[in-house]
Every structure is written in structure tokens, then in C-alpha cells.
Chains A and B, each alone.
Chain A
């Protein structure tokens, strides 16, 4: 590879500066501030703060509603990631085989991508509405009374369903382009080598899609943890009450609704560490098994 030579060390730094400034202002500074305020307790109005050491953290460990949120977040993330990946993969594999009207078909499948999370949440609210929701009525015809915002698991499944629905198009686009990047002749060679379509998929297609899948796995976990905020907010209508909450939403509820900035900061720090560990684990153990062509 050809290396570009810079005469002076100052020039490359200058080129990197805009990026570094943006990262510093929008990531490191708030992160450092969160770490700092997690050791303090603020009064309700934010006028005074007292150093309390690790008390914010120890309080978290003892709080049942925090542990509940942690458990729910794990379940939520696993289910959303699993279903949005598998459904998108299934759709992509099927769409890849469509020959007539392929473009229209694919565009229709990608459309949901353009919907903002709160709007997706609103659509979810309408579908699951107590009196008029289509899905509520559909479930009622089976004799099940679906109660969004009242029944814990009803609300949870609505959150999961809407989050999955919102994420499928992104995954679909990536999987489809991943599939189309597999050379036609490799598939044809497999066609001659193996009669069974299912076994061809697992032996050839799936391993060749693994890099795409790994990338999407990380994107989807991050999505479930953070980007579902808008959906959750609209579905619980800013009334957390007894509803299932993810960790990120709790950070918001405790910090901005409850006025407990110290506790909220401690939660953010915990979340940050969890994500860090998760990412390291993924790269250390999963990526090794993936073959990049």
C-alpha cells in the first residue's frame, strides 16, 4: 500500500481536528460530565449538589424497579434483535428470488425505513388502541382482551412488535445487498453440488452472509438499547407507571421527570459500561468465526 507522506505532524492533526472536536463536544464531554455527576446528589431544582461517593450506584443495585428494567431490557433487546434479524433475512432471501416486479417489491419492503420512530410508535398506538385498534379487535375476536398501557406484558409485546417492525427494512436492505454480492457462479456451483435448497442455504449462503449479519447484530443491539426510545415514549404515553421500561427510558424518567440527575447519571454510566463489555465480547468471540471475503 502506498503511504501518503506529510512533511509536518501539524498538518494531519489539522485535518483530523473537526472530527476530534465533534467527538469531544458531543461524546467525551457529556460522558465525562455524566461520570462526574454520578458521584453527586442534586436537589430538586439543580441549585446545589453534594458529593455522595458511590451512593448513587449502591442505591441502583438495591432498587427493584431498576433491576426489573435491567431484566426487561435484556429480554427486549434479545427478542427485538432476534426477530428483526430473522424476519428481515427471510424476506431478503425471498425477495432475492423474485424476478418479475422485483424493484417495486423491494421498494415496498424498504418503505417503513423512512418512518420516524415516534410516528412508528403512534401507528403502534393506533393499531393497539383499546377501543378502535385493528389488532386489539383482531385479538378480541379470539377472546383475548389486549390492554395497552395497562397490562405489563401486553404493553411489552406491543413495544417489541413495533420496534421489530421499524427495524426490519434496515436489516432487509443490508441482507439483500449481501445476498446479491454472492457471485452467481458460486450459487450455481452449489446448485450442482447440492440438491437440497435448505442445506445449500446453511452451507453456502448463510456463511457468506455472516459479515453482514455480524454488522447488523451490533447495529440491532444498539438500536434496541437506545433508538427505541421514541417508540417506547409514545406507547407508554410518558406515563411509566407500572409499564415495562428499558434502561435508556429509565435514565430519562428518573433524570428529567424524577429530577434525580445523580441517579440518572449513574444509570447512564452503568449502561455505557454494559455496552462497552458487549461490544468487546462480540468482537472477541464472534468476529473470529466470521470469514470476510
Chain B
């Protein structure tokens, strides 16, 4: 059990590209922290530096109270689960799981006991003598998990572990991994580009973009108070609507002249970006905003109305029992629906 601390950690590749700007944060003991962002944002680089698979250009990484910069990956007491499982194809499931323990000099009986225990936990007992090539994707994923568990590490590292699974299995494994991590109480870092995985699994989310940290917070904080337009549009599905608007005399006006209610700008004047989540706004004949609906998308539990608001794309989510048709309609905001960002930097205002 250990907390993980990154102190001004930076990564520059030999060709001069900065993969990660100096980053500082702490993951408390026992938490599952998800690193999320689009591909190339530096999330995998960060994880690989913690694992010791990538050199650290600057800064310090510590696991527990030990600075691990110069410690061999095998000595960091970590376990990693890879996207393509990275099982040893020539070893049986049991040997795959026990390989790390064998190299630590644990005796055979003890290894067998630990492997059996982990296999039971993961429903793998009947597959212990099989080779990875004889297993399905989900089973291989479990073996990779088992290999991580038997080591009883201070820290789990997950590098997009569910990306190679089909949607149904992914949902199931997501819950299993979460439950397992809770039960073992082991600190974990989890890399994904899937915001649903991030929202559902994390105790804490770190949103990355272009090599810098956009925001760190609980799923709720990230959703309710996105720190930037990037976070606002990346986290949440369907994504938040972002509209260009002008702030003057304490009021925010859209391009079509409609005033956005709830928007308090605290004296800020000039161009702003207004963010409204599709689920935070609803059709209402007395509403203040006008939407011209072009397309209706049926999602089952709800339907999405896509259209134009003051000449800018805008979407609204309505429950399935609410009638909807194309054409002009009035919309009203739910409480606390408006997020304001400055137009240049995309940072949150207020």
C-alpha cells in the first residue's frame, strides 16, 4: 500500500518533443486514479514513467516514501496490465501468473498457493494449465489481472486494459476491476481515452491534453465544474454545448441577441464561451432560448435533438416520453446549468 507522488515530472523525447510538461500531483493510498485524455496527450507516457519503462527527463516520482527515479522496474513493487495483455505465449496460465514471484525467489509451494488463490478470485482455475493462445480475449485479460494480483504490489498500473475487448465485456470487466481494486485496497493508476471508463471507475480523474494537466478532481467535480472548455467538451456524453457569446454590463448575450439567464460574469467584459450540457436544458414554451431542430437522434432511453442556436450547433437531450419534432422550439435552463469560460484561453470564469 502506498501513495504515489509526482513532483515536477517532465518528459522530453530525444527529438525535442515535450510529451509531458512539468506535472505535480499526489494519489492518496488506496485510490484509483484515472488518467484520461485523447491519444498523444501524455497519459501513457506518464504511466510508463511511473512503471520505469520510460526515462524521466526532470522531476521526481515516488511510490510510498521511496523516490523511484533510479530504481529498476522489477524493484518498484508495481504490477502492470497492458492493453494487449502482454502474456508470455509459451507459458501456461499458471506459469504466466507465477513468473514474477519465481524471480523474487519465492518457493514453489507458496507460488502455487498464491496462483491458485488469484485464479479462484478470477474464475480461472480450470484454465491454469492452458496456454494464452487457447483463451478468449476476456480470459486473457483476467490472466493479466491475475499476474498483477499475485505480486501483491504497492501499485497497479493499467494501460488501457479494456480497449481490446468488445463493448459488453468491457462493461463487465470495468465493474470487476473496480470491485477488485476496492477489495484489495491497492493504489491504482488507470490510463484510458474513454471518458465513460474514467467517470465510472475513478476516485480521482486527471484530465490531460497536449502534455499538460487540464484538471484534477473527483468525477463529480470534473463534471460539475470543468476547469476549461477542453475538459467540458471531453468529459460527458453527449458533450457539453459550447457557444460563443459576449459579456457586457453583467449580461451574457448570444450572437442572435438572446440573453443567457443564470450567467453571472462578475464584471468580466468581452468575448466569452458559454457551456450548457445537453441534459441541463429542456423544452419549455416559456423558455428564454430558441433552438432550430434539424435532426432527432433516438438513443432509446432518451432522444437527442440537434440543431442551431443563434447560428451555432447545439444539442438537447430529452427523455424518451417527451414528444419532439424538427423546427423551432423554446428551451429553458435547469438550475446551475451555465458554465462560463474566457474565449481566448478556454479557462473557467468564476
Contacts and interface: CB of A to CB of B under 8 A. Distances in A.
B73 interface: yes
Interface stretch (B84-92, B107-115, B180-188): B84-92
Interface stretch (A50-58, A184-192, A230-238): A184-192
Interface residues of B, number: 24
B53 interface: yes
Contacts of A196: 103
B310 interface: no
B99 A193 contact: yes
Interface string B145-178: 0010000000000000000000000000000000
A195 B74 contact: yes
A158 interface: no
A189 B82 contact: yes
A207 B99 CA distance: 14
A192 B79 contact: yes
Interface string A154-186: 000000000000000000000000000001011
User: Size band of the A side of the interface?
Assistant: 20 to 34
B51 interface: yes
Contacts of B74: 191-195
A247 interface: no
Given A191-B74, A193-B103, A203-B99, A291 B89 contact: yes
B82 A185 contact: yes
A189 B86 contact: yes
Contacts, number: 63
B133 A293 contact: yes
A199 interface: yes
B120 interface: no
B53 A188 contact: yes
Contact of B75 (A185, A186, A195, A204): A195
B56 interface: no
Interface string A193-222: 111100100011001101000000000000
A23 to B, nearest CB: 35
A89 B84 CA distance: 27
Contacts of B84: 183, 185
A185 B78 contact: no
A193 B100 contact: yes
Interface string B54-87: 0000000000000000001111001110111011
A186 B87 CA distance: 6
Given A185-B83, A185-B84, A293-B89, A192 B100 contact: yes
Given A189-B82, A192-B51, A195-B75, A204 B103 contact: no
A194 B103 contact: yes
A183 B86 contact: yes
A293 B133 CA distance: 7
Nearest to B51: A192
Nearest to A291: B90
Nearest to B53: A188
Contact of A194 (B80, B83, B100): B100
A186 B103 contact: no
A188 B73 CA distance: 9
Contacts of B90: 207-208, 210, 291, 293
Contacts of A185: 82-84, 86
A291 B95 CA distance: 15
A188 B80 CA distance: 9
A291 to B, nearest CB: 4
- Indicate the member of A189, A207, A208 with the most B CB atoms within 10 Å: A189
A195 to B, nearest CB: 4
Interface string A274-293: 00000000000000000101
A208 B103 contact: no
A194 B99 contact: yes
A189 B89 contact: no
A191 B88 contact: no
Contact of A199 (B73, B75, B79, B103): B103
Contacts of B51: 188, 192
Contacts of A186: 86-89
Nearest to B153: A192
Nearest to A190: B88
Contacts of A199: 103
A293 B78 CA distance: 28
A101 B73 CA distance: 27
A293 B90 CA distance: 8
A-B pairs, top 9 by smallest CB distance, nearest first, are A185-B86, A195-B74, A193-B100, A189-B86, A291-B90, A194-B103, A185-B82, A293-B89, A207-B90
Interface of B: 51-53, 72-75, 78-80, 82-84, 86-90, 99-100, 103, 131, 133, 147
Interface of A: 183, 185-186, 188-196, 199, 203-204, 207-208, 210, 291, 293
7 contacts: A186-B88, A188-B86, A189-B87, A192-B73, A193-B99, A195-B103, A207-B90
